[in-house]
Amino acid sequence: MAKINWFKYSSPASFYPLAGKVVPWFAWLAAILGVVGLYVAFFEAPLKDYQQGQSYKIIFIHVPTAWMSMFIYVVMALWAAAGMVFNTRLSYMMAKALAPTGALFAFLALWTGALWGKPTWGTWWVWDARLTSELILFFLYIGFIALGSAIEDPRRAARACGLLALVGVVNVPIIYFSVLWWSTLHQPPSLKLNEATMGTSMLVGILLVTFSLWFYTIAVALVRVRGEILERERDTSWVAQLIHEGKE
Amino acid sequence: MLSAFRTVLRRDLVLAMRRRADFLTIVFFFIIVVSLFPLGVGPEIDTLRTIAPGVVWVAALLASMLSLGRLFYNDYMDGTLEQMVLAPQPLSVIVLGKVLAHWLVSGIPLVLVAPILGLQFDLGGDALLVLVVALFLGTPILSLIGAIGAALTLGLRGGGVLVSLLILPLYIPVLVFGSGAVEATASGIGAQAHLSLLGAGLFLALVFAPWATAAALKISIE
């Protein structure tokens, strides 16, 4: 079997068409999983939690967005680290492309959390460890995006952002362990692997929505990377040929 | 290596002594910000005593952030920084010397002034002592982390505002444990856990921050 050269796809010229091909697949997967997940959430999951009423259905959005916002930051830092180790331009582009989606999910997690907290806890916001760390995560994303847009030289911007992502990723484990450090008003994580604290249909709903968001993130990030590649490589011959053939 | 560290430290201290106004401004900024709070919150001494640790620490965070601009900027403008990057000695050691000088000039005065400000907020003797110890452990972390931000934003338009966006979120653990130590003492729990965590944070920052700052400087200069 011939050895596949994975680094072939770290070149923007060969990654661009590949990304173009897989984007629709991920987009459709995201849409289908999203519809199924929300169906499960609204029609299959138990209609009423005896304590919380209908408002608890917000967690089908809240939990996946919170998970994804943390996960995306780690992935972003991994791309940044890969960029530093292999010195590939594409890795930095991936990190940059993931940031807006991560910021969006962090914001949505905070927003839906506030909407859920009002009927359940009777307050929009509490200064609890996990809410606060999610807010800090949101700030970290904003800082990352701000630094990227403040530097005009794209090469310096990419590498500076990569370093910032690596520095900031120190914060992500703190978010996770903060639950154990100071546990106050926020309930401990509702999903535990070894004991079933929630119904199977709820778990399925949350996981389906999570995977839907995951594929959405991949699709959107790839679209952004394609735009980024075109912008940075606009003077190269392969982009000129692409335009000449009328494909883009 | 050690001589490079000492030379940079002495040079930065001499430069700072020639421009005393620069760091005096930072100290007075710290004092003014802390003094604004009683005017905003009201003079009830019980409220002031509760918010004192947080107020002093937030002011210290802001003051240390404001002083970051001077850390690399002048050397960047006159080309000295480029020579430091090219020097045979490891850049992280040079960075450590600069950060230490920066802390001695802008961090230590805050630590020394803090007890007087604490008295204005009617903090007790033990709480004052812990405030000083916590600031003594915490302000070098602020300088070390801040150096990363200063290096990343070197020479950028609006770098001063940008650095606050990058660095303030990373300062939060220091703020939490620093003001937590004082609060714990005031409520009689004892500050040892908080101070230990601050000390651990200081060592962590001491190991990793100069290295990250050196990497950031290389990115910014090339």
Whether residues A163 and B219 touch (CB distance < 8 A) is answered with yes
Using the Cβ of A160 and the Cβ atoms of chain B, whether some distance falls under 8 Å is answered with yes
Architecture of domain A21-46+53-185+194-244: Up-down Bundle (1.20)
Spatial separation of the C-alpha atoms in residues A210 and A198, rounded to whole Å = 16
Q: Which of A124-128, A200-204, A210-214, A231-235 has the lowest mean pLDDT?
A: A124-128
Nearest CB to A136: which of B148, B152, B172?
B172
Using the Cβ of B87 and the Cβ atoms of chain A, whether some distance falls under 8 Å is answered with no
% of chain A at pLDDT higher than 90: 8
What is the CA A57 to chain-centroid distance, rounded? 21
Report which residue type is found at A162. Answer: G
User: Between the CA of residue B77 and those of A151, A214, B87, B88, what are the distances in Å?
Assistant: 17, 45, 17, 21
Whether residues B153 and A142 touch (CB distance < 8 A) is answered with no
**ipTM of this predicted complex?**
0.83
| B173 in Cβ contact with B201 (< 8 Å) | yes
Q: Does the pLDDT of residue A184 top 60, yes or no?
A: no
Residue range A150-170, pLDDT digits in tens: 888 888 888 888 888 888 887
Range of the domain at B154: 2-221
Residue range B40-83, pLDDT digits in tens: 888 888 888 888 888 999 999 999 888 888 888 888 888 888 88
Residue range B187-197, pLDDT digits in tens: 777 778 888 88
Q: Does the pLDDT of residue B140 top 90, yes or no?
A: yes
Residue range B142-182, pLDDT digits in tens: 999 999 999 988 878 777 788 888 888 888 888 888 888 88
Q: Extract the tokens encoding A33.
A: 């999983």
| Shortest alpha-carbon distance between residue A72 and chain B (Å) | 18
Q: Extract the tokens encoding A169.
A: 């990723």
| A129 in Cβ contact with A182 (< 8 Å) | yes
* pLDDT at residue B154, as a whole number: 86
Please give the mean pLDDT across all residues of chain B: 87
Residue range A85-129, pLDDT digits in tens: 887 888 888 888 999 999 999 999 999 888 887 777 777 777 666
* pLDDT at residue A46, as a whole number: 66
Number of domains in chain B: 1
| A30 in Cβ contact with A215 (< 8 Å) | yes
Whether residues A160 and B216 touch (CB distance < 8 A) is answered with yes
Whether residues B156 and A166 touch (CB distance < 8 A) is answered with no
Using the Cβ of A87 and the Cβ atoms of chain B, whether some distance falls under 8 Å is answered with no
Spatial separation of the C-alpha atoms in residues B16 and A8, rounded to whole Å = 52
Spatial separation of the C-alpha atoms in residues A176 and B185, rounded to whole Å = 27
Residues of A in contact with B162 (CB under 8 A): 146-147, 150
Whether residues A164 and B169 touch (CB distance < 8 A) is answered with no
Nearest CA in chain A to B221: A156
* pLDDT at residue A4, as a whole number: 62
Nearest CA in chain A to B158: A150
Using the Cβ of B164 and the Cβ atoms of chain A, whether some distance falls under 8 Å is answered with no
Which is higher by pLDDT, B200 or A51? B200
